[in-house]
Structure 1
């Protein structure tokens, strides 16, 4: 369950923890006609950057010409959701590549670290909205029933905004 107190006292710290713990996020494109796609984040919390291994031939990389583009990245878990907005750019960084390279990434690139189709994306968050709930199913059902009987909105979580 999400820690509501942490959301209210240290939302940015909690957000980084959730991003570190997820297997994949949904990463947006600067092209509004493209859907978000699942990508595995590689965290560089010290520089507040999130890196992704990507194929140069992918639709997402093809939309990213020179410079950074504003996109959204979403983290979705059972009781924790976050939408981050930030700048996404293509940058093959050998230091980051070496630090995060693993057998799962290698499975996607036949030529290994020197595969000609390999590149990286760097996402630098600018702001985020976060929603979290620590309610168990019984409390959730109670809040829904109470809200319907009293014509009120249920109290099932909290929301926070953060800037980077």
Structure 2
């Protein structure tokens, strides 16, 4: 495969695993050097390697991104997990804010997408690691129990990294 085909396949795999996740943990580097994670709602848009979030312009996460653009976004859905690393930027594009605006955003921001208090955080994905377990949580627990009895390693699915 070419690198373009690899990237397309990687984007599709990560998008599929993240597909049902509505919330994620968004991690920034704090001003004190520590990592700080907080739950964030992912805006519904087709994943093309970029993620979009609404944020308050004066929030700590926005200040953290302005100071250090390196971020991590972690998702869990069913029996799949994705850890995505990337570079974030603060976007003030009013038409993009209107395009992504929805009822969930309206619940957090009283003055609408035109407000100066509302900004977007765009995360350009650089890479991801995923874990995907076969079947349900119950089948994963059964695989663990079986491994305790047989002494074999449990089959808990696949783990891979993707360059985005």
Matched, 1:36 2:22: no
Alignment: residue pair count: 153
- TM-score, normalised via structure 2 length: 0.81
Consecutive unaligned residues of structure 2, counting only runs of 5 or more, are 1-8
Which residue number in structure 2 is paired with residue 71 of structure 1? 71
Matched, 1:21 2:20: yes
- TM-score, normalised via structure 1 length: 0.81
8 Å Cα contact 1:40/1:52 also seen in 2? yes
Which residue number in structure 1 is paired with residue 157 of structure 2? 157
How big is the shift at 1:128?
0.5
User: In 2, distance between residues paired with 1:77 and 1:39?
Assistant: 15
User: In 1, distance between residues paired with 2:140 and 2:76?
Assistant: 19
User: In 2, distance between residues paired with 1:137 and 1:118?
Assistant: 38
Q: 1:32-111 residue pairs with structure 2 within 5 A?
A: 32-42=33-43, 43-46=45-48, 48-65=49-66, 69-111=69-111
How big is the shift at 1:99?
1.2
CA gap of 1:140–1:53, structure 2 versus 1, over 3 A, is: closer
**Which secondary structure state, in structure 1, belongs to the residue aligned with residue 74 of structure 2?**
strand
How big is the shift at 1:107?
2.1
**Which secondary structure state, in structure 1, belongs to the residue aligned with residue 28 of structure 2?**
coil
User: In 2, distance between residues paired with 1:119 and 1:85?
Assistant: 21
**Which secondary structure state, in structure 2, belongs to the residue aligned with residue 148 of structure 1?**
helix
* CA displacement, residues 50-101 of structure 1 (integer Å, 9 cap, x when unaligned): 11100012111122226x6111100112300010010011111223212111
User: In 2, distance between residues paired with 1:74 and 1:137?
Assistant: 19
How big is the shift at 1:137?
5.5
